C-alpha cells in the first residue's frame, strides 16, 4: 500500500476517471489480477487511461463437487500501466471438512502494446506474492513452504471485426510457479523446490459491447505425492453492465483436487470499478 | 469434451454461425451513405464539443473544414465514392501531443454516436478496425 501511495503521489496529475473502452479491463480473476476468471491477462484492471487511475473490487465463488472457493479483493490501476491488487481466498473443504485460506498481493506492469490499437499485442509482466494462512494441512500432505511468488508474462490482443463482425480477444500467459493448487496446498514439495513454467490461455468473443463469451485453460504442476493435481479449464460469459459493474458466470472443470476426482461446477463473480 | 460442446452451443445459440445467403452490404451503406456519414460526423463533433478534456485540442481548428475532411475520410475508408483530400494523419496530428487518453475518449465518443444511430455492431467494429491502426500515427506526435 505504501508503494501505491508513492505511485499516486508521483502521478498527482492522474485523475480518477474511466476513459477506456468498455470491456478492455477484462474481469478480475480469482487471484485478484485482471484477466479472465482463472488466467491473468496483460490488461490493466479498470477503465482508467493514461493520466488517470481507477479502483475496483470483486467477490467470487467457485462451487465444485467437494469444494467451494470464495475470493474477494480490491485493486487499483494507474496510467493504464500499473496494476496493484489484493485478494483473500477461502477454500472450503466441504466433504473433507475444514478450510484453507491464502492472501495474494499482485503487481502488474504493462511493457508495451495497446490492446485495441496496435499490431503488437499488449504485453505485461506480473508477480503474485501468496501467503497461506492455514499451513498445517498443506504441510501435512508434503508442501514445503507457506508462501511463494508467482511470476508471469502475459500477451493479450483484441482483433476488431474478427469473426462475424465480432471482436476476438486472445491471451497467452507463461507463469513461473512453485504453487500446489495455485497455493491453496502450499508451495513446493518434499522433493521439489524449483520453479515450474506453466502455460495459460484464454479466448473471448465479444458478442456486443456488453457481452463476452470465452474459454480458458490453465496448466498446473503436479508436485505433491499424496494426490494428483490436474489442469484447470472453464467456459465463461461476462456481462459488462456498464463501466462500474460486471458479472461473470462460468462452468469450470478443476480436475482432481486432494484425491477427489473430477471437480466440476459453477463460478460466479461480481465486480465494481470506479 | 463437454466444455467444447457447450461452447459450440453458446456460439450457435447466439446466431453467429447462421449462414446467410445475403451479400454483405458495404460498410459505406451500413453507415447510412453520404447522409449517414454526415450525421455521424456531426454527432462526433457534438461529443467533442461537450468533452472538456479533449475540446481544447480543437481550439485552433477550422471546424467547418475539419468536418468536411472527416466526412470525406470516413466515406473513403468505408468504401464510399470519395477521395480524402486532407493531410496524412501524421502531418495533421504532429505537434498536438495527443495522449492515449485522448484517443480512448474519441473512440468512446464515436461508439456512442454509432450506438445512437443504431449502426449494427458488426459495422461499428468494421469501422473501428479501419481506424484503430491510425493510433500510432496520431498519438504522442
Residue B21, pLDDT score = 53
Asked if A118 and A158 count as a contact pair (C-beta separation under 8 A), the reply is: no
CB B54 within 8 A of CB B108: no
Whole domain around residue B37: which residue ranges?
Answer: 27-138
Q: Which stretches of chain A sit within 8 Å of chain B by CB?
A: 19-21, 49-52, 80, 114, 116-119, 160-161, 163-167, 205, 207-209, 213, 215, 233-235, 237, 251, 253
pLDDT at B18: 46
ipTM of the prediction: 0.91
Domain limits of chain A? 2-273
For residue B120, the domain's CATH number is 1.10.490.10
Q: Pull the grid cell for residue A13.
A: 496529475
Is the Cβ–Cβ distance between B120 and B30 less than 8 Å?
Answer: yes
pLDDT, tens only, A215-264: 999 999 999 999 999 999 999 999 999 999 999 999 999 999 999 999 99
Give a yes or no: residue B15 inside a domain: no
Do the domain assignments include residue B108?
yes
**Which residue is closest to B51 within chain A, CA to CA?**
A19
DSSP A255: -
Per-residue pLDDT tens digits for A159-215: 999 999 999 999 999 999 999 999 999 999 998 889 999 999 999 999 999 999 999
Cross-chain residue pair B121–A50, CB shorter than 8 Å: no
Other CB atoms within a 10 A radius of the CB of residue B49 amount to 12
Contact A19 B104 (CB under 8 A): yes
Q: How far is A138 from A65, CA to CA, in rounded Å?
A: 20
The string of DSSP letters for A4-72 reads: HHHHHHHTTT-EE---SPTTTT-EE-TTSSEESSSSB-SSPSSS--TTEEEEEEEEEEEEESSEEEEEE
pLDDT of residue B17: 47
Q: Give the pLDDT band of residue A9 (cuts 50, 70, 90).
A: low
Pairing of strands A187-189, A245-253: unpaired
Cα A193 to Cα A37, B4, B16, distances in angstroms:
27, 35, 47
A182: left (phi over 0), alpha (psi -120 to 50) or beta: left
Domain count, chain B: 1
* Interface contact B120, partner A, CB < 8 A: yes
- Give contacts of B129 with chain A, Cβ < 8 Å: 160-161
pLDDT tens per residue, range B5-64: 555 555 544 544 444 456 678 999 999 999 999 999 999 999 999 999 999 999 889 999
According to CATH, the topology of domain A2-273 is Porin (2.40.160)
User: B112 and chain A: CB distance < 8 Å anywhere?
Assistant: no
CA A86, CA A106: separation in Å to the nearest integer?
Answer: 6
Residue B6 located in a structural domain: no
A60-64, A134-138, B93-97: range with lowest mean pLDDT: B93-97
Amino acid at each position: 500500500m505504501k508503494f501505491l501511495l508513492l505511485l499516486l503521489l508521483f502521478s498527482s496529475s492522474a485523475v480518477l476517471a474511466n476513459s477506456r473502452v468498455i470491456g478492455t479491463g477484462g474481469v478480475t480473476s480469482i487471484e485478484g489480477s485482471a484477466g479472465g476468471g482463472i488466467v491473468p491477462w496483460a490488461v490493466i484492471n479498470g477503465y482508467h487511461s493514461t493520466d488517470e487511475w481507477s479502483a475496483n473490487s470483486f467477490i467470487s465463488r467457485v462451487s465444485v463437487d467437494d469444494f467451494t472457493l470464495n475470493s474477494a479483493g480490491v485493486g487499483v490501476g494507474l496510467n493504464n500501466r500499473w496494476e496493484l491488487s489484493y485478494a483473500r481466498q477461502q477454500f472450503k473443504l466441504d466433504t473433507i471438512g475444514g478450510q484453507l485460506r491464502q492472501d495474494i498481493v499482485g503487481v502488474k506492469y504493462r511493457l508495451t502494446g495497446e490492446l485495441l490499437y496496435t499490431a503488437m499485442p499488449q504485453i505485461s509482466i506480473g508477480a503474485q506474492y501468496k501467503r497461506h494462512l492455514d499451513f498445517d494441512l498443506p504441510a501435512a500432505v508434503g508442501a514445503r513452504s507457506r508462501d511463494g511468488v508467482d511470476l508471469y508474462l502475459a500477451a493479450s490482443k483484441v482483433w476488431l471485426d474478427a469473426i462475424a463482425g465480432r471482436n476476438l480477444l486472445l491471451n497467452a500467459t507463461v507463469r513461473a510457479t512453485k504453487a500446489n493448487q495455485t497455493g491453496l496446498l502450499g508451495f513446493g514439495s518434499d522433493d521439489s523446490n524449483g520453479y515450474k513454467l506453466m502455460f495459460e490461455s484464454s479466448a473471448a468473443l465479444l458478442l456486443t459491447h456488453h457481452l463476452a463469451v470465452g474459454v480458458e485453460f490453465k496448466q498446473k504442476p503436479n508436485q505433491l505425492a499424496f494426490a494428483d493435481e490436474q489442469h484447470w479449464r472453464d467456459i465463461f460469459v461476462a456481462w459488462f453492465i456498464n463501466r462500474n459493474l460486471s458479472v461473470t458466470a462460468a462452468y469450470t472443470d478443476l480436475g482432481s483436487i486432494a484425491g477427489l476426482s473430477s471437480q466440476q461446477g459453477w463460478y460466479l463473480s461480481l465486480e465494481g470499478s470506479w | 469434451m463437454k466444455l467444447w460442446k457447450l461452447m459450440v452451443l453458446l456460439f450457435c445459440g447466439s446466431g453467429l454461425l447462421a449462414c446467410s445467403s445475403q451479400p454483405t452490404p458495404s460498410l459505406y451503406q451500413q453507415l447510412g451513405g453520404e447522409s449517414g456519414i454526415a450525421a455521424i460526423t456531426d454527432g462526433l463533433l457534438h461529443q467533442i464539443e461537450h468533452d472538456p478534456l479533449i475540446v481544447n485540442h480543437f481550439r485552433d481548428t477550422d471546424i467547418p473544414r475539419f468536418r468536411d475532411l472527416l466526412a470525406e475520410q470516413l466515406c473513403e475508408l468505408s468504401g464510399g465514392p470519395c477521395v480524402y483530400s486532407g493531410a496524412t494523419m501524421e502531418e495533421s496530428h504532429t505537434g498536438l501531443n495527443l495522449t492515449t487518453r485522448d484517443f480512448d475518449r474519441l473512440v468512446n465518443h464515436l461508439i456512442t454516436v454509432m450506438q445512437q444511430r443504431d449502426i449494427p455492431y458488426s459495422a461499428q467494429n468494421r469501422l473501428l478496425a479501419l481506424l484503430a491502426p491510425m493510433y500510432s500515427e496520431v498519438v504522442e506526435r
